Each structure stands twice: as C-alpha cells, then as structure tokens.
C-alpha cells in the first residue's frame, strides 16, 4: 500500500521533535453483506475503506492522527499532527531504517469471497430460509444474514518493524421465531471462520438453520427455569464466552495496570481449579480470532494465561510491555486505522480435561445443562457476571430431561474458576464473536470442553 522509503520518511518526520517512538498503521478493507427477512432479501451492501493512522509516543503522552489520504503528503500531515499532540520540544533528526518482516500465513485462503458472485451469496440466505421453515408449521419468522470481509494492513515503526498481514473472514447467521401456545420463542445459530468461501465446503447452512429452528420449537414446550443455587453443566464450545468475559478481560494488562482487574498482582497464585489451563492463541488457524500479526506488527502467539489453576501471565500490547520491560504477547489490536491499539484477546479457550462428557451429566443428580449460553455482562473489577441461557435443560437423576425457558446464570468469575470440579475431553470452539471494549470491536473466538460448575445461581422464574 505504501512504499518503504515513504514510510521511513514519515516515521522520521514523526519523531524529529523528540518523541521516542512512532508508528504507521495502514489498512485496506473491503467486504459484502446481505440480509434476508421473511423470505425477502432486504439489503445487499458492498464497500471499501482504506487509510492510515499515525501514533507518536513521547514519555507518557501519545499523539494520534489518521487520514484516508495514503499519499506521502497526506501521511506527513498526519505524522506532524500526531507529533504535535505528543511534542516534548526540540528538533531532532532521526533516521529510521525498516526491516521487512517475514510473511506469516496463519489462515490460508483458497477462494477470496470477492471472486464469488453476489447471487451465490444470496442463495445461501434462501437455503437457510427454506430449511428453517421446513422444520415445522410453528415457524413464524426467519432472518438470515451473510457477511464477508477482507483486510490487508501494514505496520511500520521506529523500532525498525515492518509487518504485513491479510485476513479474510466470513460469517453467516440465522434467527428463527416459533409461535405456539406458550407465546413466541427464538432460536439462533451462527458460523464464522477466518478463511475464504471454501468455508461452505464444510459449513452446512441448511443444517445451521434447522438447528436454529429446533431451538425455537423446543422452547415452545419448555418449563420455567428453576431458581436457586445448583450444579450447572455447560456444553462444549458455548461456555467459552463465560471465560472470555468473566476472566479474559481481567487478564488484559491495561486493565490490570489501571487497577480495573480482580487479577491484579495475582501472578504465581492459584486462581482456578487445577483442572483449568486457559490460553489465548492468535495462531489458531481458521478460527475467528486468528491473526498472522497483531495490529502493532508483533507476530501472533500461543499464550498460556492460567496453567493448572495458577495464573502465569497477562496479555500485553506495546505500551504496557515497554513500561514493564517485558516482551509483547501479540495482543495489540484495533478496530481500524481510525483507532489506537489496545490489549485485546484473540482466541481464548480452556484446554481439554480428563472426564467423559456423558459421565459429567451422569454424575449430576439434579442441576441444569446449558446447551447454549447467550449474552452477558461482567464487572472486571469484581468478576461478578450475569449470562443468559439461550438453550438449557433440567438434569434429573443423571439424565438430561425437560427443556427450560430462558433464564440467567449469576455468579463471580474467580469463584466459578475455583468451582469447576469436572472438565470434559471434548473440546470445541464456540460461535464467532465481536468483542467490545472502550468503543472498539474486534473479532474474537472462544471455546472449552464440557464442564461442571459445582454451584451457580440460576435466575429462573419457577416458583
């Protein structure tokens, strides 16, 4: 996107007033989206956006400016604006020599989505609609969506880093509403990967839509969820979002340094059941949070955060790592060239345990089986959380029995980590997600094997 000699001149201009660090982040994005509702394709959009952000660091001050003008003149103007915001004084000439980093292909792409016709993408929506509606006469509404995005970016900085990466992501979603004597009930499923259109060689969109319809139809005969403290078994994949929210954010170094994390000053301490090993892995090929380089030009990594229940490390970006005098972990991420990077997760998940998932259910005399977790909220300073149960069932006598209407799981992240007493050997990743933090959203993945929490508060409506 930008010649190397231009980047070197821009970085030199950015630090000539005395700043110790400058960075150029440039990206080119393009994508397509389509949506269907009640059998009608309501919108098909495509777009492209390109630009660059310049960050200048002087002491504790960071200046930032961005532009959609990728000419040398446009970049120099942005560099001067960022430098002015971070200026300490002086007029120092500093020569920057960049070394182009190796190409890293973490998630290879066979078929770029922009080479596939819009008609083929819309056909996926029609197939989801037909499959969901064929599931039963009680299906009242079907909404389906498709989105793809291709992002190319480069990062260059005054430490000599020059890194390039390209990421292609595709996702499909289906929401189904069923209408019955108990009112309207909703089912939802999605699939998304960091890969090309070959994703649909393995993802069956009709099966995905039928599963969303099954969820909605099952809820029509569901009973109210119980209230109180019970053992909770969480099915593989879906519980990863609990770890993402309830402890993942608390292990991001910026929140730790600000005192906004319950895990501050806990490295080397036991914070979870000895069954739990939690990792953040940007190298997980094909998964939604996979990256070759982070948005600061650092290679993605496999980072162990909790090992056998002991907190081993946090996630780091450039600024926090520099301040602590340690290495980056590949977790500096940003929403776009218009945003500053910050510490963010990639693919965060719990490794397999020793137990058969069927035995976990059989060992639970009375409790709740959560097949799909919904959205939730967490207080990172305390670890307190509330998560919805999108699909759940009663466990009676070691067997999964009646479906339950949606209720909430209420608990505390650190306590839940300690209360996991059985961990399955059936690891799976969950749905693709967009993680929001400080007004920025980035793609992330999460997952876990089937597990049991010995005691969680259920916020149901049963008397």
Rounded distance, CA 104 to CA 212, Å? 36
Cα-Cα-Cα-Cα dihedral sign, residues 276, 278, 283, 286: positive
pLDDT score for 94: 52
Rounded distance, CA 331 to CA 296, Å? 9
CA angle 143, 145, 151 (to 5 degrees): 165
How far does the chain reach from its first CA to its final CA, in angstroms? Answer: 63
pLDDT score for 51: 97
From residue 108, how far is each of 31, 159, 197, 301 by CA, in Å?
18, 29, 11, 17
Which residue(s) pair with 185 in the sheet? Answer: 178
Rounded distance, CA 92 to CA 457, Å? 61
Q: Is 58 in contact with 182 (CB distance < 8 Å)?
A: no
Confidence of residue 340 (pLDDT cuts 50, 70, 90): very high
Rounded distance, CA 29 to CA 16, Å? 31
Rounded distance, CA 51 to CA 169, Å? 20
Q: What percent of the chain has pLDDT over 90?
A: 87
Rounded distance, CA 351 to CA 329, Å? 19
From residue 374, how far is each of 242, 277, 406 by CA, in Å?
10, 23, 9
CA angle 132, 138, 139 (to 5 degrees): 30
Instruction: Give the chain's domains with CATH numbers.
Output: 4-219 (3.30.2290.10), 228-459 (no CATH)
Low-confidence winner among 103-107, 226-230, 457-461 (lowest mean pLDDT): 457-461
pLDDT score for 462: 64
Q: Tell me, letter by letter, the H, E, C secondary structure of 85-146.
A: HHCCCCCCCCCCCCEECCCCCCCCCCCCHHHCCHHHHHHHHHHHHHHHHCCCCCEEEEEEEE
Q: What percent of the chain has pLDDT over 70?
A: 98
pLDDT score for 89: 46
Give the pLDDT confidence of 91-133 residue by residue, as tens digits: 444 556 777 888 899 999 999 999 999 999 999 999 999 999 9
Which residue(s) pair with 384 in the sheet? Answer: 412
Give the pLDDT confidence of 8-18 residue by residue, as tens digits: 999 999 999 88
pLDDT score for 96: 63
**417-422: average pLDDT:** 96
pLDDT score for 416: 94
CA angle 178, 183, 392 (to 5 degrees): 70
pLDDT of 196 above 50 = yes
Low-confidence winner among 37-51, 339-353, 371-385 (lowest mean pLDDT): 371-385
Q: For the chain, how many residues are written?
A: 463
Between helices 118-133 and 205-219, what is the axis angle to 10°?
30
Backbone angles phi, psi at 209, to 5 degrees: -70, -40
Rounded distance, CA 463 to CA 458, Å? 12
**264-292: average pLDDT:** 97
What b/e readout covers 29-62, taking b as 16+ CB neighbours within 10 angstroms?
bbbbbbbbbeeeeeebeeeeebbbbbbbbbeeeb
Report the Cα 3 to chain-centroid distance in Å.
Answer: 32
Q: Is 176 in contact with 213 (CB distance < 8 Å)?
A: yes
pLDDT score for 90: 47
Give the pLDDT confidence of 302-324 residue by residue, as tens digits: 999 999 999 999 999 999 999 99
| Average of per-residue pLDDT values in the chain | 94
Rounded distance, CA 243 to CA 413, Å? 8
Confidence of residue 461 (pLDDT cuts 50, 70, 90): confident
**242-255: average pLDDT:** 91
Q: Is 199 in contact with 419 (CB distance < 8 Å)?
A: no
Between 360 and 459, name the one with better pLDDT: 360
């Amino acid at each position: 996107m930008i010649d190397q000699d231009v980047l070197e001149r821009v970085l030199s201009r950015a630090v000539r007033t005395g700043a110790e660090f400058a960075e150029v982040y440039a990206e080119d994005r393009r994508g397509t989206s389509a949506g269907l509702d009640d059998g009608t394709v309501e919108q098909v959009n495509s777009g492209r956006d390109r630009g660059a952000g310049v960050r200048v660091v002087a002491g504790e001050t960071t200046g930032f400016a961005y532009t959609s003008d990728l000419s040398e003149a446009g970049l120099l103007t942005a560099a001067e604006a960022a430098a002015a915001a971070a200026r300490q004084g002086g007029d120092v000439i500093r020569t920057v020599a960049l070394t182009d980093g190796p190409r890293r292909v973490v998630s290879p792409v066979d078929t770029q989505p922009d080479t596939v016709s819009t008609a083929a993408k819309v056909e996926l929506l029609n197939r989801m609609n037909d499959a969901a509606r064929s599931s039963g006469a009680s299906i009242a509404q079907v909404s389906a969506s498709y989105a793809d995005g291709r992002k190319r970016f480069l990062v260059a900085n005054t430490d000599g880093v020059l890194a390039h990466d390209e990421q292609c992501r595709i996702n499909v979603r289906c929401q189904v509403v069923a209408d019955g004597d108990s009112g309207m009930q909703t089912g939802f499923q999605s699939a998304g990967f960091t890969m090309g259109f070959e994703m649909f060689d393995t993802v069956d969109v009709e099966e995905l839509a039928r599963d969303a319809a099954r969820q909605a139809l099952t809820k029509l005969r569901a009973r109210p969820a119980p209230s109180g403290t019970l053992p909770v078994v969480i099915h593989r994949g879906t519980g990863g979002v609990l770890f993402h929210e309830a402890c993942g954010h608390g292990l991001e170094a910026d929140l730790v340094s600000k005192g906004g994390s319950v895990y501050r000053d806990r490295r080397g301490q036991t914070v979870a059941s000895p069954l739990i090993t939690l990792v953040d892995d940007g190298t997980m090929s094909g998964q939604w949070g996979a990256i070759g380089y982070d948005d600061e030009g650092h290679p993605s990594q496999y980072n162990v955060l909790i090992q056998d229940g002991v907190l081993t490390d946090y996630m780091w970006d450039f600024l926090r790592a520099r301040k602590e005098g340690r290495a980056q972990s590949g977790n500096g991420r940003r929403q776009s060239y218009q945003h500053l990077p910050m510490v963010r997760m990639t693919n965060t998940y719990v490794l397999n345990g020793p137990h058969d998932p069927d035995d976990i259910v059989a060992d639970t005399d009375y409790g709740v089986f959560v097949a799909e977790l919904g959205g939730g909220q967490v207080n990172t300073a305390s670890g307190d959380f509330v998560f919805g149960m999108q699909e759940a069932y009663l466990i009676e006598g070691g067997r999964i029995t009646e479906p339950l209407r949606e209720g909430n799981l209420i608990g505390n992240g650190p306590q839940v980590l300690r209360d996991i007493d059985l961990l399955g050997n059936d690891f799976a990743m969950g749905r693709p997600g967009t993680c929001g933090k400080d007004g920025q959203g980035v793609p992330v993945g999460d997952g876990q094997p089937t597990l049991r929490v010995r005691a969680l508060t259920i916020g149901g409506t049963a008397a």
